Amino acid sequence: MSTLDTLSPMEAGRLPRNAPLFVGVAALAAGALVVVLGGSLVLGAVTAALVFIIALPLWSAVVENRRAAVDRLVTGLVWTAFAVALVPLIWLVWMVLDRGLATINPEFLTYSMRSVIGDEQGGLYHALMGTIVITLIATAISVPVGIFAAIYLIEYGKGTKMSRAITFLVDVMTGIPSIVAGLFAFAMFALILGPTRFGLAGGIALTLLMIPTVVRSTEEMLKLVPDDLREASYALGVPKWRTIAKVVLPTSVAGIVTGVVLAISRVIGETAPLLVAAGFTNNLNTNPVDGSMMTLPVFIFTQFGQATEKGYSYAWGGALVLIVIVMLLNLTARIVGKIFAPKTGR
Amino acid sequence: MTSTVDAPPDASPPEIPELEGKTTVGDRVFRALAVAAGSLIMIALAAVFIFLAIEGAPGFTADEQHYDGKGSFIGLVVPLVFGTTYAAVLALLIAVPFAIGIALFVSHYAPRRVAKPLGFVIDLLAAVPSVVFGLWGGLALGPYIRPLHEWLHNTLGFLPFFDGQPSATGRTLLTASIVLAIMILPIITALCREIFSQTPTLHEEAALALGATRWEMIRYAVFPYARSGMVSAIMLGLGRALGETMAVAMVLSSSPIIVLDIITSDNPRTIAAHIAQNYKETTPEKVAVLIACGLVLFAFTFGVNALARWIVGRGERKQAA
């Protein structure tokens, strides 16, 4: 009692500052004990987390009060939520690296699966080519359409009925399930040519998924361009289109490129629409208007579907190649964004 | 240099100078391009609906044999809608607590300096292609959490969700829902994070000044402010989960049935997985049935997303008022 009386009211009934650290060490020790006693590593980790989440609030409830204990409980839960979310990410990346690296060799990258039977060496060259062709088609269509639509929304149609309608529809397009986009491309060409699957249809399907992302990011970037720049240009007698082409777009080009690259990295991993619209094949086909075209995601899916050891390892190899491409695109986007960051003077 | 200058100043109200410079041929072309791009988007969306409707219409009333032994379109689509909803709701149940926790972690708990990079790490989850998630779910996660299935069966077996024989492969609806949950986690987290960090600092500081703990501050200042945003984030996550194909198609061995059990090897199938599993189909009638299913999925996700946006809009109006 006497020691408490000598403490200032601010310090009375508080846990020491490094209490979480103490409990953390104790929790780790408890987890280690479980592992030593023969539990699995996961069981140990779960024990440690539980001890940490429960022990600190209990201690707090004894020394401090109920409110402080609840606060510490929530803090523990929030940190745990974040830690748990990291588990699948690390696990997945590790699996893909581990299994993928075991599969990848020069032949795997340069052979197709054409008449590969049994344990013969095959590869994903045809899928890689197909992915490149189809993604290029999708990019070539959706980038101009997306950028001009964004220009319309920001520069020409502000507040008009049509621009409100477009904004709404872009919202709707963002929510289209990817497989429905594939069905659309398939249905459209089926109506004209009968039910066939080919690369261009896959490209159209991806376009539908890519346009909303491009419109959205470009719109955001155009909004960032200060009106002063536009007005200065108008004041010099520059026509509107030249103002857009020479002032507005160059100012925001970094952001637009970043947005486009991110949009590409998003659609390049799409599987379902390509499965439906572009089909699958074991042969190299670079002609987008003739016959099925293989793509990386579909390659992974079909190899997985073989349900053989070889199929699984090829699927992991394909997954590694696909993830590397996606990560490279993401990295490019960030570097472009950093180097050419919009110079708004702020 | 002609008419406007020569005219007497009081003859007519002076022409308001065109702020946007003079109109030239280039201008008209540019404007036309912009309008065309905008119109193309509108046409594209209309086309999606029209083509799906034309090609899918025969699928609603095809011969019995084309419905995978289910007799009629309703007989096929009802179990599929059930499976779609069931899987998505389970995924939400798993993802939402984590998403809100992580969003709070990034916006209010993590040390300022590392908060942004840590948020970026969660965004990385969104960059992983769905087919890779499916691969991981089917080959790594499923077999790994088989003991969890057995534990659930033994301890909670009296519940209808866990009373069947646990699957030997771990490729069950439970596993698929976990994979789905991981896939929708980044979008819900990102939206919640955005909303949480927009809470007026004055509200937060007022709560803290009244002696609230950090949790009480979040409960009484952040959550009320963010409620509509959180709901719409969850709805958008639901929309994403409803339309996601590969995770379910690759993890589950499924069929169009209605069962509540989530740990056995008899699993309900989702619409998207049903379409993906029949992707080789070229018989016109069967294709029509698949497209009709796609149309149902489209309408379903459209409804969910529209509801989400309506909630956001209502929240904004309330705050504006």
DSSP result, B193-230: HHHHHTS-HHHHHHHHHTT--HHHHIIIIIHHHHHHHH
CB-based contact A181:A273 (threshold 8 Å):
yes
For residue A179, CA distances in Å to A79, A110, A306, B119, B224 come to 36, 30, 22, 29, 37
Q: Which tops the pLDDT comparison, A80 or B314?
A: A80
A196 → chain B, closest CA residue: B282
The residue among B261 and B189 whose pLDDT is bigger is: B189
Residue B312's SS3 state is: helix
Chain A: closest CA distance from residue B267 (Å) = 18
Q: To the nearest whole percent, how much of chain A has pLDDT over 70?
A: 95
Closest chain B CA to residue A234? B21
Separation in Å, CA of B101 to nearest CA in chain A: 5
- List the single residue in A with minimal CA-CA distance to B55: A187
User: Quick check: B321 pLDDT over 70?
Assistant: no
pLDDT number for residue A206: 93
Cβ contacts of A79 on chain B, cutoff 8 Å: 105, 109
B256 three-class SS = coil
- pLDDT, tens digit (0-9, with 9 covering 90-100), for A287-345: 888 888 899 999 999 889 888 888 899 999 999 999 999 999 988 888 887 877 655 55
What pLDDT score was predicted for residue B178? 92
Q: In this complex, do A96 and B27 lie within 8 Å of one another by their Cβ atoms?
A: no
Q: In 3-state terms, what secondary structure has residue A271?
A: coil
Lowest-pLDDT choice from A120-134, A209-223, B8-22, B243-257: B8-22
Asked if residue B52 lies in contact with residue B298, where contact means CB atoms within 8 angstroms, the answer is: yes
pLDDT of residue A8: 53
Distance from CA of B284 to the nearest CA of A (A): 7
* Nearest-angstrom CA–CA distance, A298 and B249: 13
CA atoms A231, B14, B31, B51: torsion sign: positive
* Residue numbers in B near A172 (CB within 8 A): 45, 302, 305-306
- Mutate: best of B30, B116, B133, B302, partner A, most A CBs <10 A: B30
- A179 or A117, higher pLDDT: A179
A-proximal residues of B, 255-274, CB under 8 Å: 272
Euclidean distance between CA atoms A201 and A189, whole angstroms:
7
Task: Please name the member of B23, B102, B140 whose beta carbon is closest to the beta carbon of A81.
Answer: B102
Neighbouring C-beta atoms of residue A194, cutoff 10 Å: 9
Q: Which residues pair with B251 in a beta bridge?
A: none
Q: Which residues of A touch B244 (CB under 8 A)?
A: 177
**Which pLDDT score is estimated for A149?**
92
* Top-confidence range, A117-121, B69-73, B239-243: B239-243
Nearest CB partner across the interface for A68, out of B26, B136, B213 = B213
Find the CB nearest B124 among A89, A191, A240. Answer: A89
Residue A276: list chain B partners with CB under 8 A. 275-276, 279
**What are the contacts of B216-225 at 24+ separation with CB within 8 A?**
B216/A67, B216/A71, B218/A74, B218/B104, B218/B108, B222/B104, B222/B108, B222/B196, B225/B195, B225/B198, B225/B199, B225/B200
Predicted confidence at residue A11, as pLDDT, reads: 55
Q: Which residues of A touch B218 (CB under 8 A)?
A: 74
- Cβ distance B225 to B149 under 8 Å? no
| pLDDT digit string, tens, across residues B79-116 | 899 999 999 999 999 999 999 999 999 998 888 888 88
Q: Which CATH superfamily is domain A125-339 in?
A: MetI-like (1.10.3720.10)
What's the DSSP call for residue B164?
A: S
Structural domains in chain B plus CATH codes = 61-320 (1.10.3720.10)
CA atoms within 13 A on the CB side of A195: 17
> Where do the H-state alpha helices sit in chain A?
2-6, 19-36, 41-63, 66-103, 106-110, 125-151, 161-174, 178-193, 199-224, 227-235, 240-243, 249-267, 272-277, 296-306, 309-339
pLDDT of B9 > 60? The answer is no
Each residue of B309-319: pLDDT tens digit? Answer: 888 777 666 66
For chain B, positions 13-72, list CB contacts with chain A under 8 A. Answer: 19-24, 26-27, 29-31, 33-38, 40-42, 44-45, 47-48, 51-52, 54-56
Contact (Cβ atoms closer than 8 angstroms) between residue A308 and residue A94? no
- Domain locations along chain A: 2-103, 125-339
Average pLDDT, chain B: 83
pTM: 0.85
Q: Give me the pLDDT at residue A346, please.
A: 47
Mean pLDDT score, A274-283: 86
Q: What angle do CA B78, B83, B84 make, to 5 degrees?
A: 95
Residue of chain A whose Cα is closest to the Cα of B181: A85
Q: How far is CA A93 from CA A96, A253, A269, A320, B181, in A?
A: 5, 33, 16, 9, 17
- Please list every residue in chain B whose beta carbon sits closer than 8 Å to the beta carbon of residue A74: 214-215, 218
Residue A78 and residue B109: Cβ atoms within 8 Å? yes
Given a cut of 80, is residue A45 above it in pLDDT? Answer: yes
- What would the mean pLDDT of B225-240 be, rounded to a whole number? 88
Interface test with B, best of A15, A73, A78, A204 (most B CBs within 10 A): A78
A90 close to B (CB below 8 A): no
**Percentage of chain B exceeding pLDDT 90:** 20
Q: Which of A335, A188, A324, A186 is nearest to A268 (CA)?
A: A324
Asked if residue B6 has pLDDT above 50, the reply is no
pLDDT at position B50, please?
87
Do B146 and B166 meet the contact criterion of CB atoms below 8 Å apart? yes
pLDDT in tens, A22-41: 888 888 888 888 888 877 77
Is the pLDDT at A257 greater than 80? The verdict is yes
Rounded to whole angstroms, the Cα distance separating B12 from B315 reads: 48
Q: In chain B, which among 165-184 make CB contacts under 8 A with chain A? A: 182
Residues from chain A contacting residue B284 (CB–CB below 8 Å): 195
Point out which residues pair with B268 in neighbouring strands. Answer: B255
Residue B100 near residue B184 (C-beta atoms within 8 A) = no
> Is 0.95 exceeded by the ipTM?
no
Is the pLDDT at A144 greater than 80? The verdict is yes
Instruction: Give the closest-approach CA distance of B290 to chain A in angstroms.
Output: 9
Question: Is A180 in Cβ contact with B52 (below 8 Å)?
Answer: yes
Contacts of A42 (CB under 8 A, 6+ apart): none
- The answer to whether residue B209 neighbours chain A at the CB level (below 8 Å) is no
Taking contacts as CB-CB distances below 8 angstroms, the residues of chain B near A195 are 282, 284, 287
- Pick the closest to residue A296 from A277, A270, A273 (CA basis): A270
Structure tokens given for A111: 């052979």
CB spacing of B132 vs A268 below 8 angstroms: no
Residues of B with CB below 8 A from A163's CB? 38
For the CA atoms of A245, A249, A253, A256, what is the dihedral angle to 10 degrees?
Answer: -120
Query: Which residues of chain A make contact with B124, given a CB cutoff of 8 A?
Result: 89
User: What pLDDT score was predicted for residue B319?
Assistant: 62
- Asked whether the predicted pLDDT for residue B15 surpasses 80, the reply is no
Nearest CA in chain B to A317: B132
Cα R_g (chain B), whole angstroms? 27
